[in-house]
Amino acid sequence: MWKNNMKNFLYFLLIVYFSPMFGNAQIMDIFQNKEYEYATYIVEAKSDKEYAPSKFEIYQDKNKEENKNWQNIENQLEKVASQQIENEVSFFQLHTKAVNYLKQLDALKRLENPYHEESNFHPGLKGIEIKLVSVVNNRGVYYIQYNFDNVNVKYYYLADFQQNKVTELNKIPNLNQQERLRKLTLSRLTALYLLQTKKLEVNHVERIRATQSGEENLPDFSNRVDYSEAMVYPYFSGLMIEFPAQSKSSGIFENKAFRVLVTGMERNELLDVFPEFKPIFKQNIQEPAQAIIKLLNDDANYDLSRFSNAPKELQLLESLSFSPTDRKIFSLTIINYQKSDTIKSFLGAKKFFFDKNANILRIEERNDRNEIAREEKYAYNEKNQLTDIRFLGFGNKLQIQNYDNDLLSYVETIEVNDYRTAYGTEFRDLKIYEQHFAFNSNYRYALEFNVVGDFDRNRTIQSRYFEKNKYCTYHFCLLTHDNGQVFAVKKKIGSPIDILLNANNQPIESYVDNNRYHYKFTYDDNDRIKSFTSISDGKNANFVEYEYHNNLQKPLTITDTKTSHSTTIMIQEYEISFWDD
């Protein structure tokens, strides 16, 4: 047992040196349409406590702006972390949690390996992390993580930058709150549990949807989820409900953390029992008019790659000039060859199947043996909205689109990988990501996060906005005339780009990275692309030629010649079939 020494103390040595290996990151407050850049700094700390290491490091996320409000909060969080170690009672509470987590981790490892050796149940403190999770309406959510041997203990805090106040968010939800959490999340968690335990497969799309919505009558597994462990905090446009790693509930996901984000009406329903968060959402986001939403959702308006890449595949269908009397396209097959001298070698093919509304139904990819190597299957609802995509071939993957008032709310991607340990135990690696969308004024935001496992620190909020004659993202703005003609690109991040377009808003030339990369486009009398040239450091790297045929079934041949190292000639032949009326 460690001895209590009242003269012992903790102090920080030198602040602060920036570690470039953590780089820069950005986080968005979508309620304020405000973006913050932060970086991870390292504080070296020394301790005279007998129960703590003599030297360890604190990794802390800090705003890169000279912002006194943020600096005050950051100093408070650093003080909270130091006091947790300096106070012996607090430290041993942390240590007890770490020991309990290690015991749970040992139990899981024994399932994988019956010969697993027991962990050291006197884990030492290795370091501390203070991480910024989100900013919502000028309030920040942070967690402080205390890293022990193989496990960590994490506490969440809400920071009010204007009021200079830090509040701990680790209270156990009361029974009323737990019941509301259960009501809003149990169906979605049931679907995750059934996927994890192989009672549901990713090709059971209808059953997955029915389970998520609570329509399918399934055995109650709520006893596997302890809602007293739920952590609730503001995140993106709603409230995140998270069950921490190594908690009792995390056993259903091999001791990994898992989470559910509730937005819209569900968020408001949860606020009824979490009134402490109501002031944060008092000023709600302002959904723009439908015309603005349409502009923000049109990816073509924000496509910078069109100035440096040749159009391919479905982009070219618009230029094939089918008349209104032509039948609707049933399939498009793109056959790939490699040419050597006069010999064409078949490399494979990609085939698109369409319904009579011109929606893609299936994409089929074949290898050089003409065998199906990969498929994508698309489904739509009665409103002609895409509902799901099933990916077959490379992994077992499903993507589900979810709508709120006919507007895409979030996309859920589910991927499973079944494997067997060296000792014969079967496990399933379940990867689930959600990409959520939100609109505020003339902005659109998209955020992707992982549902199971610790948060991926590389996640970012993608933003785009529209102003008069400007289509902008975090990285660039496309500047247009009143008629929509693009006349310039304003880069915020990365190398400069100059463009020249014709009267039809088609690129003719573009220069990237101080003219290091040069791209040329030519067009025929029907405004169809005729050639694309890529020049790198003054040398031709790529030349693509488009040959159009007066043949509805075989309208196009593309020859792509790459000369950057050795000369390689690739040929694509388009073949089209039509629906029978």
For the chain, percent of residues with pLDDT exceeding 90: 66
User: What is the spatial distance between Cα 92 and Cα 44, in angstroms, rounded to a whole number?
Assistant: 22
CB half-sphere exposure, 495, CA atoms < 13 A: 10
User: What is the spatial distance between Cα 20 and Cα 37, in angstroms, rounded to a whole number?
Assistant: 14
Residue range 476-492: mean pLDDT, rounded: 92
Per-residue pLDDT at 63 exceeds 80: yes
pLDDT in the model for residue 113? 65
User: What is the spatial distance between Cα 198 and Cα 418, in angstroms, rounded to a whole number?
Assistant: 9
pLDDT in the model for residue 456? 76
pLDDT tens per residue across span 166-189 = 999 989 999 999 999 999 999 999
Per-residue pLDDT at 474 exceeds 90: no
Three-state SS string over 274-309 comes to: CHHHHHHHCCCCCCCCHHHHHHHHCHHHHCCHHHCC
Retrieve residue 106's tokens: 């040992």
Residue 355 — very low, low, confident or very high, per pLDDT cuts 50/70/90?
Answer: very high
Q: Which of 455, 447, 457 is nearest to 21 (CA)?
A: 457
User: What is the spatial distance between Cα 286 and Cα 444, in angstroms, rounded to a whole number?
Assistant: 11
Residue range 554-560: mean pLDDT, rounded: 96
Segment (H or E) for 502 = none
pLDDT tens per residue across span 279-303 = 999 888 999 999 999 999 999 999 9
Q: What are the two backbone dihedrals, phi and then psi, of residue 494, each rounded to the nearest 5 degrees? A: 95, -170
Residue range 231-248: mean pLDDT, rounded: 93
Q: Are 30 and 285 in contact (CB under 8 A)?
A: yes
Distance of CA 558 to the CA centre of its chain: 34
User: What is the spatial distance between Cα 515 and Cα 441, in angstroms, rounded to a whole number?
Assistant: 37
For the chain, percent of residues with pLDDT exceeding 70: 92
For residue 51, the one-letter residue type is Y
pLDDT in the model for residue 12? 42
Per-residue pLDDT at 145 exceeds 60: yes
Residue range 524-541: mean pLDDT, rounded: 92
pLDDT tens per residue across span 416-434 = 888 877 777 777 888 999 9
Query: Which DSSP category does 98 fall into?
Result: H
User: What is the spatial distance between Cα 554 and Cα 330, in angstroms, rounded to a whole number?
Assistant: 14
- Averaged pLDDT score across all residues of the chain: 89
- Checking 140-146 for CB contacts under 8 A at 24+ apart, the result is 140/70, 140/73, 141/169, 141/233, 141/234, 141/235, 142/61, 142/77, 144/77, 144/80, 144/81, 144/84, 146/81, 146/84, 146/94, 146/98
Retrieve residue 363's tokens: 């994409």
Per-residue pLDDT at 8 exceeds 50: no
Residue range 386-402: mean pLDDT, rounded: 89
pLDDT tens per residue across span 513-530 = 888 999 999 999 999 999
DSSP result, 158-199: EEETTTTEEEE--PPP-HHHHHHHHHHHHHHHHHHHHHHTTS
Q: Which residues of 7-38 are buried (b: 16+ CB within 10 A; e: fewer)?
A: eeebeeeeeeeeeeeeeebebbbbbebeebeb
